[in-house]
Amino acid sequence: MPQLRLQLAAAIIAVAGACSAASASFDLNEATVDAIQLGFKNGTPTSKQLVLFSLDRLNPLLHGVIEVNPDALAQAERANAERRRSPFRCGHPLHGVAVLLKDNIATRDRLNTTAGSLALLGSVARRDAGVGARLRAAGAGILGKANPTEWSAFRPTPNGWSARGGQTLSPYVLSTDPCGSSSGSAEAAAANMAAVTLGTETDGSILCPASKNSVVGIKPTVGLTSRAGVIPISPRQDTIGPMCRTVSDAVHVLDAIVGYDALDAEATGAASKYIPNDGYGQFLRMDGLKGKRIGIPNGFFTEEIYGKKQLRVYQKHIALIRKHGAMVIENIGIAKNLTEVQNVLFSNEHTAMLAEFKQSLNAYLSDLLYSPVGSLADIIAFNKAHPVEERLKDFGRPYFIEAENTNGIGPVAKAAIQLLNKLSDDGLEELMKKNQLDAIVTPNNDGRVFFAIGGMPAITVPAGYDDQGVPFGICFGGLKGYEPRLIEMAYAFEQATKVRRMPSFKH
């Protein structure tokens, strides 16, 4: 499969002719969306050169990109022509920029959408996913699909592994766990294989790989971005968000993808009240930490988990956050016993997700124009029929069977959901309100389950590299609709620290 993909990339490059001349006057490495737009205006790079740069950077070793869009160059040429014709009407920051989508985000084009599974190869979506449609409306192209952990968070397969794409690696230290399930997106952004990317999160799937690959990940409030046309896990928790090299890039992408979608009406309708009139760009403020109240809950930044050295880096960051004008409140508890509460949350989340997964996946499959599999039962049968390709012996799919045994959102799932809601209200929500917090700060994706069950937003920003060179992140999370203030804090922190550096592909 990787062979095929790269042959395709090579063919595209050959057809287009030599591609490196473009970059002579404009370095596309680490180029931001703003720099790219300025370049477009000045004539270099063109959208086409941007795509060629991405194709040139595709690294087969990393397994981050599962499919390249055969129409990526044609899209770019169209964008170039549009800009030449009417430069003022092509003002969207993503106009002419090709976006890489996680492989669970459906597109109505020549790309497959499979959640990494061979079972869905050849399926045809009725239309682009809601977020993809918004990107195209902004004039962005679709570069291709990023390798996900197969079936996203709902799997017993290893982080970053899929039957279609193989094992994703971290471009920083190849032997480390790239984390899941949006690791292909994170890695492609980190290694400059794509200008910007989209990931999805049910519980940690944006925050974790972003942290482990030194990129910025935004996990939006559930419903802020449409889930229509995205292979689901749990409509209660699923959300789609940007994974980019800078906060500013991620905010440009967020601006493009948020909004009401009739095909995800309830959630997007409820969350659209959070979208600011003039978009999120106004919150990219250097003084964004000033006057904020930030809580550091107990049990996250500990020497046991992170060791003396890394803990010291985190403590320095917290001191810097204070220096930049935030009030930091330490020693507050989300739970009396964090481990215990997290265990209860994970187990109830699992119970709820079994029922939600079957119901929502079957709905997704039945909406396809064509699909080789029509239900979860078909996928289980497919895996049984292809045990070698799907590595059934190594990664049996016990949860698929458990999910198949559910019948709608029954009393057991309902009780689990009720408990999750109560623990969220009495936990993070109560903590934030009582202390009038703008955010809680936690390491990497360690607070993920609290954000997940509450449908709450969080942003992770690069925070450092350990002794081996493995990246780690710092995460600002808050209540539903807190994106504006989280962006302010994340941006101010990023600008004050500038931790991100390019990957070194260490073994």
Ligand X SMILES: *[C@@H]1O[C@H](CO)[C@@H](O)[C@H](O)[C@H]1NC(C)=O
Q: Under the rule (CB under 6 A), what is the footprint of ligand X?
A: 67, 70, 110-112, 121-122, 337, 339-340
Which of 48, 102, 358, 480 is the catalytic position? 102
3-state secondary structure of 372: coil
C-beta of residue 450 within 8 angstroms of C-beta of residue 344: no
Whether 214 is catalytic: no
**Cis-peptide into 347, omega within 30 deg:** no
Whether 123 is catalytic: no
Whether 384 is catalytic: no
3-state secondary structure of 118: helix
Nearer CB in complex with ligand X: 88/370: 370
Nearest approach, Cβ of 11 to ligand X (angstroms)?
12
Which of 23, 123, 152, 181 is the catalytic position? 181
Nearer CB in complex with ligand X: 331/339: 339
Nearest approach, Cβ of 89 to ligand X (angstroms)?
30
Nearer CB in complex with ligand X: 74/265: 74
Long-range CB contacts (< 8 A, 24+ apart) of 105-108? 105/129, 105/131, 105/132, 105/145, 105/198, 105/200, 105/229, 105/230, 105/231, 105/240, 106/132, 106/229, 106/230, 106/231, 107/132, 107/142, 107/145
Task: Convert 245-303 into a string of H (helix), E (strand) and C (coil).
Answer: CCHHHHHHHHHHHECCCHHHHHHHHHHHHHCCCCCCHHHCCCCCCCCCEEEEECCCCCH
What is the amino acid identity at position 107? T
Query: How far is 443 from 476, CA to CA, in rounded Å?
Result: 9
What is the amino acid identity at position 342? Q
Nearest approach, Cβ of 386 to ligand X (angstroms)?
14
Nearer CB in complex with ligand X: 111/163: 111
Nearest approach, Cβ of 64 to ligand X (angstroms)?
15
Cβ-based neighbour number of residue 315 at 10 Å? 11
**Looking at 298-362, which runs of residues are DSSP E strands?**
327-332
Query: How far is 483 from 479, CA to CA, in rounded Å?
Result: 9
* Phi-psi category of residue 346: left, alpha or beta, with phi > 0 → left and psi -120 to 50 → alpha: alpha
Dig out the tokens for 503 from the structure: 């990957």
Dig out the tokens for 175 from the structure: 């032997």
Which of 123, 185, 205, 211 is the catalytic position? 205
Nearest approach, Cβ of 137 to ligand X (angstroms)?
22
Query: How far is 501 from 496, CA to CA, in rounded Å?
Result: 15
Nearer CB in complex with ligand X: 277/339: 339
Alpha carbon distance, N-terminus to C-terminus of the chain: 24
> DSSP code of 220?
P
Nearest approach, Cβ of 272 to ligand X (angstroms)?
33
Nearest approach, Cβ of 13 to ligand X (angstroms)?
16
Nearer CB in complex with ligand X: 67/483: 67
Nearer CB in complex with ligand X: 315/337: 337
Catalytic residues: 102, 181, 205
